[in-house]
């Protein structure tokens, strides 16, 4: 449908203020709190430095659609709107520099602090800076963790998160194949100082099963149910999610250790995303992700890892979340300081 240029320009401005909501919080380093293996008890502390380089073909999580069919704000029916280029997928190389300090504490776990800088040379608007810190408490069959993280972009937009996780061993089987099953429950409070409508409380509960394979390596499966409760008036309100995952870590071959992981996720909002644009349409998103990896310990202090990720997100009701097939390739060099 071809509309007069004046109407199209008005619609462009109208929808652009909603598209920008997805450009904050994109590709945040959620893995910032994941640490290397715990230092040996004899060590007073351990510093790990890592550098990653790679390529990401959808830095901004842009929609795959070139045109959107939305409600006509100036009358009845629908109109077709051409999506702005900055809201379509943007690709870039990336450089990630990270430092982590961890030390054994008197509670059987570790204390840690980490800092991260991620740079997209081709799309610097999406550069990120992150900080994180936390403490673990470890017992025979349970563990607790408290953590804090802060992420910011070049415009000064920030997200601060404070949370905790509790893990409990449910069973350990020492038969021909060693298996263990663990349950976990976590909670996190997210604050967006510049966008208070995005503030939320996130809770999740899950079960993970791990087993050592007779031929070597390890197989893991897991299920997590989560609830993201909106504290402000963000589009779509609160949302519920379900994650199913499986991973395999193989035995070393010629010094290289292979890994394979797959995740299937589902998320659904509890309210219409934007009635003015999409009537009663509700965010109803599925995502499939496949990860392939190789890692090698070069020396006692140095390690190299290669990872390729393929993912697809689909939303049949809100096309803004309907994304093309995504690819990410990265190489990480890690060094531990004595």
Tens digit of pLDDT for each residue in 59-75? 988 899 998 888 887 77
Could you write out the DSSP letters of every residue in 206-242?
EEEEEEE-TTSSEEEEEEEEEEEEESS--TT--EEEE
- Are 247 and 226 spatial neighbours (Cβ–Cβ below 8 Å)? no
Q: Give the pLDDT confidence score for residue 227 in this predicted structure.
A: 97
- Over residues 222-235, the pLDDT tens digits come to 999 999 999 999 88
Kindly state the greatest CA–CA separation across the chain: 73
Q: Are 307 and 52 in contact (CB under 8 A)?
A: no
Distance CA 25, CA 163 (A): 18
Per-residue pLDDT reduced to its tens digit, 120-144: 999 998 899 999 999 999 877 889 9
The predicted pLDDT at position 240 comes to: 97
Model pLDDT for residues 245-263, shown as the tens digit of each residue: 999 999 988 899 999 999 9
Band the pLDDT of 177: cuts 50, 70, 90.
low
Enter the pTM of the model: 0.84
Confidence of residue 333 (pLDDT cuts 50, 70, 90): very high
Mean pLDDT in residue range 177-204: 91
Q: What is the mean pLDDT of residues 306-311?
A: 95
What pLDDT, in 10s, does the model give residues 22-39?
A: 333 333 333 334 444 444
């Amino acid at each position: 449908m071809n509309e007069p240029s004046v109407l199209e320009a008005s619609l462009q401005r109208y929808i652009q203020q909603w598209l920008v909501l997805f450009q904050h919080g994109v590709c945040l380093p959620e893995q910032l709190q994941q640490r290397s293996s715990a230092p040996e008890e004899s060590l007073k502390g351990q510093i790990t430095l890592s550098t990653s380089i790679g390529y990401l073909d959808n830095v901004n999580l842009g929609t795959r659609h070139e045109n959107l069919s939305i409600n006509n704000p100036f009358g009845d029916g629908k109109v077709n709107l051409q999506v702005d280029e900055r809201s379509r997928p943007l690709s870039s190389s990336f450089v990630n520099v990270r430092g982590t300090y961890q030390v054994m504490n008197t509670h059987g776990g570790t204390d840690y602090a980490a800092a991260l800088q991620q740079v997209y040379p081709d799309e610097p608007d999406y550069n990120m800076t992150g900080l994180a810190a936390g403490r673990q408490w470890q017992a025979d069959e349970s563990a607790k963790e408290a953590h804090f993280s802060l992420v910011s972009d070049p415009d000064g937009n920030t997200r601060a998160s404070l949370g905790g996780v509790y893990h409990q061993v449910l069973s350990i089987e020492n038969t021909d194949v060693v298996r263990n099953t663990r349950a976990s429950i976590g909670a996190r409070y997210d604050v967006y100082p510049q966008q208070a409508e995005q503030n939320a409380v996130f809770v999740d509960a899950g079960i993970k099963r791990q087993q050592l394979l007779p031929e070597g390596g390890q197989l893991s499966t897991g299920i997590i149910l989560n609830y993201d409760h909106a504290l402000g008036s963000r589009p779509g309100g609160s949302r519920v999610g379900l994650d199913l995952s499986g991973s395999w870590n193989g035995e070393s071959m010629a010094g290289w250790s292979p890994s394979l992981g797959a995740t299937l996720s589902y998320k659904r909002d509890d309210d219409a995303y934007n009635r003015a644009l999409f009537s009663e349409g509700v965010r109803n998103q599925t995502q499939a992700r496949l990860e392939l990896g190789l890692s090698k310990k070069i020396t006692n202090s140095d390690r190299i890892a290669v990872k390729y990720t393929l993912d697809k997100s689909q939303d049949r009701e809100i096309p803004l979340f309907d994304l093309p097939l995504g690819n990410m390739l990265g190489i990480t060099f890690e060094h531990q300081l004595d």
